[in-house]
Amino acid sequence: MTREDGTGPVIKGTITDISDLRKAEQEHRRLAAIVRCSDDAIISCTTGGEIETWNAGAERIFGYSAEETIGKPLGILAPGGRANEHLEILERIRRGQEVDDVEAIRVKKDGQQITIALSVSPITDAAGEVIGAAAIARDITDRKQAEECLRNSEKQYRFLFDGSPIPMWVFDRSTLRFLAVNQATIQQYGYTEPEFLAMTIADIRPEENIPN
């Protein structure tokens, strides 16, 4: 095809191709910035488990620099007794499956064990073949410790509540319905626990003694 003045050829599609390339480059830069700035560890590896990329979040969480990890096996993060766990995950990835928000134990550079929430997705080539894996890991150690402390506190409370020789109960202040009673209450009043949970405090106490 020639220009309208007949001076030479016109190449169609160039503007569109350049525009698409620029959009792709912008998207790549945007994604790269997200990876760099993420507080979570974002790691990619081969299907055999060799680390290929390691962001600042991974450095912060695990203590290793990118220079110390790229080219190394993921097994450097596995604690004793869990050395094959990442291999099992990679086997699922090779089958095209995803691993979504599972809890795992990993070891930092200083030897400290941490609990992470881990999600892993396959990386595929243009033909759809799985060529690697992308993992996002979040350190949830503090949350798990807080949950454990809460469970221990609840166990201690239940031990003291149930073991008290003094009748004790918990009730809803708006409805006055019983929420829990201890064994001393059951023994003193003669109702079973299910019967108590269907009653209100007004069923066992004078109205003037009911707290407002």
One of 3.40.50.1820, 1.10.1740.10, 3.30.450.20, 1.20.1250.20 is the CATH number of 40-140, namely 3.30.450.20
Query: Strands of 130-139's sheet, edge to edge?
Result: 51-54, 41-46, 130-139, 113-124, 99-107
The secondary structure of residue 74, as a DSSP letter, is: G
List the chain domain ranges.
40-140, 145-209
Model confidence, pTM:
0.62
> What pLDDT shows up at residue 113?
95
pLDDT of residue 211: 60
Q: How far is CA 189 from CA 122, 182, 207, in A?
A: 62, 11, 17
* 145-209 shares the fold of 40-140: yes
Distance separating alpha carbons of residues 133 and 103, to the nearest angstrom = 18
Distances (CA, A) of 101 to 117, 139, 140: 5, 12, 11
Q: Which pLDDT score is estimated for 74? A: 92
Tokens of 109: 């550079």
Biggest alpha carbon–alpha carbon distance for the chain: 108
What's the fold here for domain 145-209? Answer: Beta-Lactamase (3.30.450)
Question: Coil, helix or strand for 36?
Answer: helix
With tokens 């220009």, the residue in question is: 3
pLDDT in tens, the chain (212 residues): 444 555 554 444 445 566 666 655 555 555 555 556 578 999 999 999 999 999 999 999 999 999 999 999 999 999 987 777 888 999 999 999 999 989 999 999 999 999 999 999 999 998 999 999 999 999 999 999 999 999 999 889 888 998 899 999 999 988 999 999 999 999 999 999 999 999 999 888 876 556 65
